[in-house]
């Protein structure tokens, strides 16, 4: 039951502008990610240590099956498939799943099944239950209550949801990006994890929240390469290129692998275990 705040409606209101932060007007979420797939894949696959650490927090067992909602290019699906019995990778973007399949082939992974569909479109009962259901920065849904209820009912052991916790991100990056043509909707309303957590409580699901500090290093062979990647990833218009160049040159430092940028951010992990018996006092 909603209390004074209807978290489901609040989510709809604050996400009505779209889910991709810098997408082109009128572009749906699947085509947005289709056009971003190659660049995204290149960026995230450079940092396997972060994915391995994230997967380690799940406590996956070798007999378990995992449903990865919004699996993208398999950043987590691939390390999870190395531990679990099998992974079902659902994503609405054909381009992201094409990269995932290439990554599987490169890594010799055979226990991932892909499903190209949006989470809203997947009917309950269309696929079998999985031990673990996970979503990592991938809840591009307008009907949050319905989507969370589906995650809950399709999981046998546990559900894990990861979202960025600090919307301002780090060290002036968000401020720089906000100077661009988009990003407006991303700065209104409470952070996603607070809405998800409170809505779950209204639904009778008492989840845990863990805030994790991540540090990562991004490597570039030159300033030109960094500028090109950032321009593409964040759709920064050509007229802001000199500003972007100046901004990035202030962030990049020389390292033995070329130029390096250290980034920090906070990620929230919201999780709940299914059917946990109460302990006695």
Ligand X SMILES: C[S@@+](CC[C@H](N)C(=O)[O-])C[C@H]1O[C@@H](n2cnc3c(N)ncnc32)[C@H](O)[C@@H]1O
Please give the helix or strand (H or E) that residue 272 lies within, else none. strand 258-273
Q: Taking the complex as a whole, how short is the minimal distance between the CB of residue 71 and ligand X, in angstroms?
A: 6
Rounded to the nearest 10 degrees, the angle between the axes of helix 7-15 and helix 144-153 is: 120
119 binds ligand X (CB under 6 A): yes
Query: What are the CA-CA distances from residue 201 to residues 3, 58, 196, 205, 263 (Å)?
Result: 10, 21, 9, 5, 33
Compare residues 245 and 266 and give the one whose CB is closer to ligand X.
266
Q: Taking the complex as a whole, how short is the minimal distance between the CB of residue 73 and ligand X, in angstroms?
A: 7
Compare residues 75 and 145 and give the one whose CB is closer to ligand X.
75
CA distance 91 to 118: 6
91 binds ligand X (CB under 6 A): yes
DSSP string over 77-125: HHHHHHHSSEEEEEES-HHHHHHHHHHHHHHT---EEEEE--TTTSPTT
CA distance 224 to 234: 15
226 binds ligand X (CB under 6 A): no
Q: Taking the complex as a whole, how short is the minimal distance between the CB of residue 273 and ligand X, in angstroms?
A: 21
Compare residues 13 and 142 and give the one whose CB is closer to ligand X.
142
CA distance 34 to 47: 21
Q: Taking the complex as a whole, how short is the minimal distance between the CB of residue 35 and ligand X, in angstroms?
A: 11
Site for ligand X in 132-171 (CB under 6 A): 136-138, 140-141
Site for ligand X in 58-87 (CB under 6 A): 70-72, 75-76
Nearest Cα residue to 141 out of 126, 167, 162, 120: 120
Burial of 185 (0-12, 13-18, 19+ CB in 10 A): middle
- Stretch near ligand X under the rule CB under 6 A, chosen from 55-63, 101-109, 112-120, 230-238: 112-120
23 binds ligand X (CB under 6 A): no
Rounded to the nearest 10 degrees, the angle between the axes of helix 223-234 and helix 29-45 is: 150
Q: Taking the complex as a whole, how short is the minimal distance between the CB of residue 119 and ligand X, in angstroms?
A: 4
Residue that has been written with the tokens 């018996």 in this structure: 277
CA distance 19 to 95: 17
Q: Taking the complex as a whole, how short is the minimal distance between the CB of residue 147 and ligand X, in angstroms?
A: 7
Compare residues 29 and 209 and give the one whose CB is closer to ligand X.
29
Among 118, 163, 198, 267, binds ligand X (CB under 6 A): 118
Compare residues 29 and 241 and give the one whose CB is closer to ligand X.
29
Q: What is the DSSP letter of 24?
A: P
Q: Taking the complex as a whole, how short is the minimal distance between the CB of residue 29 and ligand X, in angstroms?
A: 6
Compare residues 65 and 163 and give the one whose CB is closer to ligand X.
163
- β-sheet bridge partners, residue 152: none
Q: Taking the complex as a whole, how short is the minimal distance between the CB of residue 140 and ligand X, in angstroms?
A: 3
Compare residues 80 and 252 and give the one whose CB is closer to ligand X.
80
Is residue 87 a contact partner of residue 107, using CB atoms and an 8 Å limit?
no
Which residues of this chain interact with ligand X, rule CB under 6 A? Answer: 29, 33, 44, 70-72, 75-76, 90-93, 96, 118-120, 136-138, 140-141
């Amino acid at each position: 039951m909603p209390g004074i705040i209807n978290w489901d409606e609040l989510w709809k209101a604050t996400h009505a502008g779209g889910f991709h932060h810098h997408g082109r007007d009128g572009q749906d979420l699947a085509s947005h990610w289709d056009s971003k797939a190659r660049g995204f894949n290149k960026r995230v696959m450079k940092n396997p240590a972060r994915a391995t650490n994230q997967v380690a927090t799940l406590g996956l067992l070798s007999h378990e099956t995992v449903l990865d909602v919004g699996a993208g290019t398999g950043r987590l699906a691939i390390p999870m498939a190395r531990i679990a019995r099998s992974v079902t990778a659902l994503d609405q973007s054909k381009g992201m799943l094409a990269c995932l399949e290439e990554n599987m082939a490169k890594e010799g992974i055979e226990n991932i099944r892909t499903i190209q569909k949006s989470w809203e479109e997947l009917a309950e009962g269309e696929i079998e239950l999985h031990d673990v259901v996970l979503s990592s920065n991938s809840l591009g849904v307008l009907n949050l209550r319905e989507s969370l209820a589906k995650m809950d009912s399709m999981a046998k052991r546990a559900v894990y949801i990861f979202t960025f916790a600090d919307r301002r991100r780090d060290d002036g990056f968000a401020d720089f990006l906000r100077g661009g043509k988009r990003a407006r909707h991303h700065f209104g309303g409470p952070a996603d994890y607070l809405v998800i957590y409170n809505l779950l409580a209204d639904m009778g699901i008492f989840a845990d929240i863990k805030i994790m500090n991540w540090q990562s290093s991004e490597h570039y062979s030159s300033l030109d390469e960094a500028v090109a990647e950032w321009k593409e990833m964040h759709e920064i218009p050509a007229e802001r290129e000199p500003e972007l160049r100046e901004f990035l040159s202030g962030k990049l430092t020389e390292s033995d692998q070329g130029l390096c940028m250290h980034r920090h951010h906070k990620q929230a992990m919201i999780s709940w275990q299914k059917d946990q018996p109460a302990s006695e006092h």
